[in-house]
Amino acid sequence: MIEEPTTVTETGAGGGGDTILSVRDARVTFDMSRGVSRVLDDVNLDVERDEVLGVVGESGSGKSMLANAMMNSVVDPGQLSGEVVYHPPEGDPVDVAKLDETERREFRWEELSMVFQGAMSSFNPTMRIRAHFEETLESHGHDLTEGMQRARRLLDDVFLDADRVLDSFPHELSGGMKQRALIALSLVLEPEMLIMDEPTASLDLLMQRSIISLLEALKQEYDLTLVFITHDLPLVTRLSDRIAVLYAFDLAEIGTTEQILRDPAHPYTRKLLKTTPNVDTGVDNIETIDGSSPDPVNTPEGCAFHPRCPLADERCEIEDPDLLSVHGGEGHLAACHYWEEAADAVPFDITDAHEGDIDIGTVSEQTSPDAEAASGPEEDPLLSLDDLYIEFETEGGLLDIFGDNDAVQAVSGVDLDIYENDVVAVVGESGCGKTTLGKAAIGLHRPADGAVRYRGQDIWAARDGTGDVDIPFDEIRRSLQIIHQDPGSALNKNKRVISSLERPLKKWSPGLDRDARESRIYALLEEVGMKPAPDYAHRYPHQLSGGEKQRVALIRALLMNPDLILADEAISALDVSLRVEMMDLFLELQDMFDTSFLFISHDLANANYLAQRSDGRIAVMYLGEVVEVGPVDQVIHNPQHPYTQVLRWATPNLDPEQNEAGAVPIRNIDIPDPKDPPEGCRFHTRCPEAREACTRENPADYAVGDQHEVSCFRVLDDHEYWTSQPLAEDGSTEVRPAAGDD
């Protein structure tokens, strides 16, 4: 038996309940050429049976390493020290850190199971999903027939067609389907505890919210203990009983969700909450965190947060604070010498600005539908997308020589104008056509039909040299630039930053000599906060953080003096504390360079922040169509299309009381196959308000306000939609009684 420790620091941070896992002085180190990298630093923590513990913090704070330590799955040459003690429902405690390889293999999946960050890479691409379940069951000596019956029940529980999924290869499933299949696989051996490391990081809003709802149901049905690791605070607040905040590889604060959100004690926790974009909070209440996370090889002495903390003094620089009980709340602990002064130093109130609930299915009485297009600015647009169609051929397999290729209509009949110094944020689920639309806008995808015009010039006519060409294609190409989602792959890893940034200047400003080029590059590096500029200019990409790489990509685009920049998920790979900082930088540089932005995102909160700060617009896409577009206040706080309303519902609120509970207000979680989109309104198979009329006719764009257009019959008072029958719950044309019918 393992003796239970007695002091607060020794016992770890727990809520006083029945402990299922206790972590004591857990440390993970890696020997590196430049020193010892300490990526987990003497963490003490208790996980209570049947609770959901959320673990949050910036990238590099040690969240994933804590999960690996709990499973004793730290990869070589990492070294784990300390105790990780599992307390089973019956029998003696087990020190997981001391298990040998054979014992670890038996322990994992049976007692503790884990869902890793990337579902895309968690499955063997050469094996069907069925084989993954069978292999897991057989390797642990479980009866295969009984185990596969359990697998089918689990797949049903996560709203998957068991027959289809089990017979599929991983690449045949969407990201959301793979993630749900991975959750089912992690539960097939009926573990007591499930650790989830960023399980929704690569998923869009609706799938994230669906996964959270699924986890709530699975926890109740299977009596699970959950550790949910994420950098997305709003996402985890509804699910978690307690929240642990990590900073610099150790606990900064831990408490109940209510304690952390209503009365945070650590300055870092308060700053992390303030930097989180939230659709119900005014943008003026959002701030960034100055500085950057510490280097694990060179963590500051004393309190690791002191270089970024407004309360720091000499004591903080030399004395590392212990976890102390704060605010008199049971189980609420914070590692700060001056936690009592944190509220004054970093003001934060979660109830600062709530705009009210969104009533799913309600059409505002303020709308004034008109078949005419919504009025826009009197000026001529910088860029126009006119009735744009884009198709891609999907090829069959290697031996499918005579098979017919299916065409995917990625963009279908889109009209959109972008003006000088404009910001348009395009949002929607993965696969809805956002990126394809953006690349078509800057001339990287040739449309199958329709036109893309830059200052009135058809850019493909300029490219092909057909008709009257008033603006040469080279000028158009220079004026329309892109920032990619992954800046690491967009920068040449073999070239220093200055070499990558000199290329556009050499091409488009050949009159500049070397000194003039360097002067301009250094000035921009300074402008985006990369100081000293000569140091950063002579680094390679691998020597930069994710945020720094994205800044370099932004500078490279700006050196072309563009009129419009496509920012394609340009902040989704960044840490949550850096996203607002990067969006603020976009807007600062927009003022300097008179640049418009076409901002692609699956996150409505980020789109809301950027569009609200810039007085821009939001365009909502679904299956290749723009179903709603308008000013941010109207789209966010008065959404008219049922799909926009569902996205608004799916966007988690930092305040869990503002998150609507209950079932997902949509018929089907999964988006239809884009190769075979539904007839009529494309959203009708998932729409909670769909009626029989929606299956026959695709709605036009109807003006419901200034620059606000919606593609939905519900905004028309006299449309036959209102007299047609509601669809059955499964979305089929079998009708159900309309409201008020007998």
Structural contact between residues 49 and 61, judged by C-beta atoms closer than 8 angstroms: no
- pLDDT for res 742: 38
- pLDDT for res 297: 87
Q: Which two tokens stand for residue 603?
A: 């996150």
- pLDDT for res 237: 86
Integer Rg of the chain from CA: 27
**DSSP per-residue codes, 49-112:** TT-EEEEE--TTSSHHHHHHHHHT-PPTT-EEEEEEEE--SSS--EEGGG--HHHHHHHBTTTE
Angstrom distance (rounded) from CA 397 to CA 406: 12
- Number of CB atoms found within 10 A of residue 395's CB: 10
Angstrom distance (rounded) from CA 148 to CA 185: 10
- pLDDT for res 368: 47
Q: Which two tokens stand for residue 478?
A: 């220079």
- pLDDT for res 8: 43
Q: Which CATH superfamily is domain 17-240 in?
A: P-loop containing nucleotide triphosphate hydrolases (3.40.50.300)
- Number of CB atoms found within 10 A of residue 403's CB: 10
Angstrom distance (rounded) from CA 267 to CA 288: 13
Beta bridge partners of 451: 386
Angstrom distance (rounded) from CA 131 to CA 185: 11
Asked whether the whole model's pTM tops 0.75, one would answer yes
- pLDDT for res 326: 93
Number of continuous H segments (helices) and E segments (strands) in the chain: 26, 24
- Please give the single-letter amino acid code of residue 237: T
* Domain ranges within the chain, ordered by starting residue: 17-240, 265-345
Angstrom distance (rounded) from CA 690 to CA 685: 8
Task: Say if strands 35-48 and 193-197 run parallel, antiparallel, or are unpaired.
Answer: unpaired
Helix (H, G, I), strand (E, B) or coil at 221: helix
Q: Which residues of the chain have pLDDT under 70?
A: 1-16, 118-120, 202, 352-378, 394-406, 659-663, 729-742
Torsion of CA 60, 61, 63, 65, to 10 degrees: 70
Helix (H, G, I), strand (E, B) or coil at 8: helix
Peptide bond preceding 677: is omega within 30 degrees of 0, i.e. cis? no
Q: What are phi and psi of 406, to 5 degrees?
A: -90, 140
- pLDDT for res 307: 95
